[in-house]
Structure 1
């Protein structure tokens, strides 16, 4: 081990430990008769969590069910999700409280909903996002703690962050994600014989040495430098964990199968291309969950301002929400509203990809809890009231589904608190200032 640690030495350790992939499936012989739990221990199949974000909200009056509770009628903009009504909960009426802080359009809404916090003007949010809190609980035994993707073509299109300076960037290429998950380093989890890769053993040994250097380096730094290196060290710890998993024999999973390779796509903001790329991502994410390579994923439809447009047109979804006049007969903006139905259709593609993977008598969606949300209740005026929030799946019967839950004037953090509690994150309240709440939606607890 070197006497003096420096950043170049640590970075060289990371290069020496290049990322690898491993799939972890379950076979029928490991499951009970219903395919819902492990036969030898009775432990349930692992719960998965996903977040699915889109910008510019939905049309007020066209996404909220008219009745509260069960057996609600699907409203117009949620019709693409009709096949999942019985597995879906719709939350309406909630808002983001500012506490005197000026809002940042297209940012404040999702910060309140997914961080539980609205930062002061000119400052970055310094709280981890909901998915990170969940992955700290359920994502520590998989190859990847979480996977982020976007259909919009920019890695910065992500609402997942470990801290104010540590954004989890999105993958923009389905082919790149396929290679990362199922490329040359993918190991057949059903092979009778397991031989640890000696190259991984060397990498793990190098990183163990780097870990000691890291501890010494931290002692030499001031508070500011420690904060600047936090993101790097977090990545290093994840790499160490990934190599540890690589050296262990994977536990089989019934539904794991290597998907067909995907062709290179062309990311962009034409909505047909966005939807196409996200459909490819949906299938890859579903296989990643089925193979237990991750239990947490995050999807961003595009950027928070929804800069998508129809082919051959220049007006974006965002521009239309502001500049298109309300149709006097319809009472809404028809061109802008068209995008909402397409976006909900893309969300339906993700739910279908999960539902299409069979596991025993059920499917992957049954043990997944997917949260879909936006950043505004009415994009035309950047409203922070009545922000759409939807869950699909029960996380393995952790929650009741098929409900419309209305909570007029309550903070959106109630949803995040509820999901953390059902996923066994040890938290009794969540949020800051007026966003703080200890009131979970107990009516959906199973």
Structure 2
């Protein structure tokens, strides 16, 4: 359908506070060729959700506890998490059901966990990831709908996606994260005075200013373009709502402490360097959450097909999982397993950081639900059955911790459904094909 006078340069025009404004349009079918080629108020403490990812899985015999329920015993690869045993639940035996589709190595596991879908091709996200769905429910009242960090220095190492092409890129520099969160635009909730930014005030309500133009345009377009424009205007409105938050005086938060600006640090894949960067990023992330700048966060310690390596070695974690022989006396790959154990040390430190922030009558961790996961179980075979999963925190008293739950081959989508319901997402079923489920994990729900 072609509309007379409508081109790619068309702008919706209006007047806002006496000033002329204009709003551009996304690429519509009508612009293309026939082939389409061209708290102090008494409100409860905020509820938060986060993910923590490490690559290349674990060794099932050294990871999975034997006993179920609350009497499970720590295994060798979970030993570093002993101090968090009471606020941690271990989930074992949950699978990505491929339904005849190929196992897209280092992709099917993470995509299946976060979307409830087995991808046809690597990194195919046909639906939004779990964190995006939750951010749509709880992240609209904060300055950032979500924040992402990656410790190994590559902003592409993010598994937070609304679609295959819409990725929430990760911050990899502590200094850049500090400037983004606590720099221009940050309103200290404990400052005692509030001064809205007049530049932001002028950016409010652009959709209302172009209402007549918008309605006239919608009447001229076909159904496909109307749907695309509706999605576009919804995104613009969400951005306006985020701006509106920045124009409101924040409620005082005792847990919010403005950090000192960090020094720039080098990034890379050497394990000690990654661990140091992870610590700095995690500390800033925790303060951003405590200051209610975001309620949804995602952390990547190492990517799928983990590229972590020891100092002086050219062999990385992923390479070792395939090339290192199993030690006949130990029964596992000791060099590859070293990186699993270091990853668990880092996750334990991440929980330490969240737990170190006092909030209300507990800690920041008490008001979080954190999903820790990897993209495979045994990386040597790229297995997506028995994926390693952990739930940490108490979600404001909604999440029962200290459990070991055996999935016995159930789809991993049960975990995603549970977390969405825990966070208030109105969903009763989730996943596709044999991953579709309406069964939440009642064992962890209070």
TM above 0.5 = yes
Q: 2:226, 2:244 → 1: CA distance?
A: 26
Would the aligned equivalents of 1:152 and 1:302 in 2 still touch at CA under 8 Å?
yes
Paired position in structure 2 for 1:334: 334
**2:246 matches 1:249:** no
User: In 2 relative to 1, CA 428–268 (structure 1 residues): closer, same or farther, beyond 3 Å?
Assistant: same
What do residues 144-185 of structure 1 show as CA deviations (whole Å, max 9, x unaligned)?
Answer: 000011112222111111123211111111110100111143
**Residue 53 of structure 2: aligned partner:** 53
Listed one character per residue, the Cα deviations across residues 260-307 of structure 1 (whole Å, up to 9, x for unaligned) are 211112221111121111111111111011100000000111321101
1:432 aligns with 2:432: yes
Partner in structure 2 of residue 201 of structure 1: 201
Normalised to the residue count of structure 2, the TM-score between the two structures is 0.87
Listed as ranges, the gaps of 5+ residues in structure 2 are 13-20, 25-38
Q: 1:145 is matched with which residue?
A: 145
Match of 2:357 in 1: 357
1:126 maps to which residue?
A: 126
Deviation at 1:112, TM superposition (A): 0.7
The answer for the alignment partner of 2:418 in structure 1 is 418
Shift of 1:187: 2.5
SS, match of residue 396 in structure 2: coil
User: What SS does the aligned partner of 1:105 have?
Assistant: coil
CA drift of 1:186 comes to 2.3
Aligned 8 A contact 1:114 1:416 in 2: yes
Q: Secondary structure at the match of 1:52?
A: strand
Matched, 1:164 2:178: no
**Alignment match, 2:297:** 297
Q: What residue is the counterpart of 2:90 in the other structure?
A: 90
Counterpart for residue 267 of structure 1 = 267
Structure 2 CA distance for aligned equivalents of residues 86 and 324 of structure 1: 35
Matches of 1:383 and 1:129, distance apart in 2? 21
Displacement of 1:8 in angstroms is 9.1
Distance, in Å, in 1 between the alignment partners of 2:65 and 2:208 is 55
Instruction: Give the whole-Å Cα distance in 2 for the aligned partners of 1:118 and 1:342.
Output: 29
Task: Determine the structure 2 residue equivalent to 1:308.
Answer: 308
1-structure distance, mates of 2:89, 2:232: 38
Flag the 1:217–1:326 CA change in 2: closer, same or farther, 3 A.
farther
- Cα pair 1:4 1:213 within 8 Å, conserved: no
Distance 1:377 1:103 in 2: 13
Query: Any idea what the Cα deviations from partners look like across 1:389-409, whole Å, max 9, x if unmatched?
Result: 001101111011101001111
In 2, Cα distance between equivalents of 1:368 and 1:50: 7
How many Å separate the matches in 2 of 1:314 and 1:291? 41
What is the CA–CA distance in structure 2 between the aligned matches of 1:117 and 1:157, rounded to whole Å?
Answer: 20
SS across alignment from 1:61: helix
State the SS of the aligned residue for 2:385: coil
1:176 aligns with 2:161: no
Structure 1 residues not aligned, in runs of 5+: 16-25, 31-39
1:287 aligned residue: 287
Change (3 A) 1:120 1:214: farther
Cα offset, 1:351, TM superposition:
0.8
Does the 8 Å contact 2:140/2:238 carry over to 1?
Answer: no
Q: Distance in 2 between matches of 1:90 and 1:384?
A: 17
Matched with 1:33 is none
Q: Tell me if the contact between 1:5 and 1:216 (Cα under 8 Å) persists in the aligned partners.
A: no
Q: Which deviates more, 332-341 or 150-159?
A: 150-159
What displacement does 1:211 show?
8.0
Aligned counterparts of 2:174 and 2:218: Cα–Cα separation in 1: 37
Q: Is the 8 A contact 2:111 2:123 kept in 1?
A: no
CA distance in structure 2 between the aligned counterparts of 1:317 and 1:93, rounded to whole angstroms: 24
Q: 1:123 to 1:62 in 2, by over 3 A?
A: closer
Please give the TM-score of this superposition, normalised by the length of structure 1: 0.87
Give the SS at the match of 2:91: strand
